[in-house]
Amino acid sequence: MATKVLVVDDSITMRALISGALEKISGIQVVGTADSAAEARAEVDRLRPDVMTLDVEMPGMSGIEYLEELMQRQPMPVIMFSARTEAGAEASIEALRLGAIDCFPKPKVATQDEFGKLLSQIAKRLKTAKTVPLQRVAVTPAVATNFDWNGRILAIGSDEAGTQTLFDLLGSFPANCPPTIVVQHMRPELLDTLAVKLREHVQPKVLIAEDGLAVEPGCIYLARSDEHHIVVDKWPGGTIRALQRDPVAGHRPSISLLFASLCASKADAVGLLLSPAGDDGPAGLKAMVAAGGYAIAPTGLLDEGTAADGFTLQKGSAAQPVGRSDLVAGIIKLCGK
């Protein structure tokens, strides 16, 4: 069955270009368009689309404001389109924090050829859109109290679709959180903005992972996109190392390579995959399971099931389900005494 898409943009030209690009993707059906939040509301009720594309910069109610309303009222996979500006980067991160599964920059020149350059990325996201776990916009997460670190290191892998869960999780961490390294697949120009926004929402220090940094509790380390791989050389008392190597599974930095480095260092570690990130992540997480570490991933990536079911915690041959609402408590328990 085709994935039904509703295209929302105040520009008739952009609606036509986006619709034309999407209709070239196998298995995608553009069922309608809307030029405002008000029209989008009516079309959602009438057409029942599977996915929405939404412009960030709309007059009246902005795309960000409508996205927040939509994720409270009727959550669905939403792909945002934003301008290539600093303000556009901030809006992109905010959209992802609110629950959008991706945010693409609008081409500088609005032509079908320019949209065609984004086609493969958009197609990849649309094909997995229905499997991404969705949740309503979260309230400010409660920060864990009385946390006593047990010495475990936490490694997190994610992509754009996991940004909302990443904010919820890290926002619940106490200032003395377990040392946490994050490889987040997203456009390189968004990484610095992600760091700024995280610093506004979390209690621990948020640092850009750089070669030679000591891995310490109370710190969250973000790996830069497309510059180098990030690994940990040993544990305990580990240091971040930047590796100048080719992409792994199409990605640099690689989630799997980070997980594998923790296996190589025989670290007492927890590996967490927040969203299906293509081919990068599952292999490294399986290596952690084989090495006796803890692995948490969307149900269906490491076992049988569907991603919408939540998460599964595995250690060796043992496995148990972890609901989205229990993820924070589960991580805190695994990393605390």
Write out the H or E segment, with its range, that includes residue 208.
strand 205-208
The neighbouring-strand residues paired with 53 are 7, 79
21-25, 107-111, 120-124, 135-139: which range is least confident on average? 135-139
Q: Using a pLDDT cut of 70, give the percent of the chain over it.
A: 92
Q: What is the pLDDT of residues 162-197, one digit of tens each?
A: 899 899 999 999 999 999 999 999 888 888 899 999
- Write down the CATH superfamily of domain 3-131: Response regulator (3.40.50.2300)
pLDDT band at residue 313 under the 50/70/90 scheme: very high
Q: Among 18-27, 227-236, 276-285, whose mean pLDDT is lowest?
A: 276-285
| pLDDT of amino acid 292 | 87
Number of neighbouring beta carbons within 10 Å of residue 168:
21
Least confident window among 103-107, 109-113, 201-205, 212-216: 109-113
Band of residue 85 on the pLDDT scale cut at 50, 70, 90: low
Q: Within 10 Å of residue 226's Cβ, how many Cβ atoms? A: 12
Give yes or no for residue 61 having a pLDDT over 90.
yes
In angstroms, rounded to a whole number, what is the distance separating the alpha carbons of residues 329 and 316?
Answer: 21
Residue 21: enclosing H or E segment and its boundaries? helix 12-22
Q: What is the pLDDT of residue 39?
A: 96
Residues 188-208: what's their mean pLDDT? 93
| pLDDT attached to residue 140 | 63
User: Higher-confidence residue: 322 or 149?
Assistant: 149
**Residue 305 pLDDT greater than 60, yes or no:** no
Confidence band of 116 (pLDDT split at 50, 70, 90): confident
Mean pLDDT of 197-207: 95
Provide the pLDDT confidence category of residue 232 given band limits of 50, 70 and 90. Answer: very high
pTM over 0.75: yes
Averaged pLDDT of the chain: 89
CB proximity list for 148: less than 8 A, separation 6 or greater: 336, 337
How far apart are alpha carbons 102 and 122 in whole angstroms? 9
Rounded to an integer, the average pLDDT of 262-284 is 87
* Residue 42 tokens, joined: 């009516």
- The CATH 3.40.50.180 portion of the chain extends over 153-335
Q: Is the pLDDT of residue 100 over 90?
A: yes
Grade residue 125 by pLDDT with cuts at 50, 70 and 90: confident
Rounded distance, CA 250 to CA 79, Å? 22
Q: In which residue ranges of the chain is CATH 3.40.50.2300 found?
A: 3-131
Enumerate residues 6+ apart whose C-beta is below 8 A from 17: 110, 111, 112, 115
Question: Which residue would you say has higher pLDDT here, 130 or 30?
Answer: 30
Q: What pLDDT does 54 receive? A: 96
Which is the CATH superfamily of the domain at 153-335? Methylesterase CheB, C-terminal domain (3.40.50.180)
pLDDT at 307 over 70: no
The residue type of 319 is A
Does residue 20 have a pLDDT over 80? yes
- Over residues 72-84, the pLDDT tens digits come to 988 999 999 987 6
pLDDT at residue 269, as a whole number: 95
Q: What is the pLDDT of residue 55?
A: 94
pLDDT at 10: 93
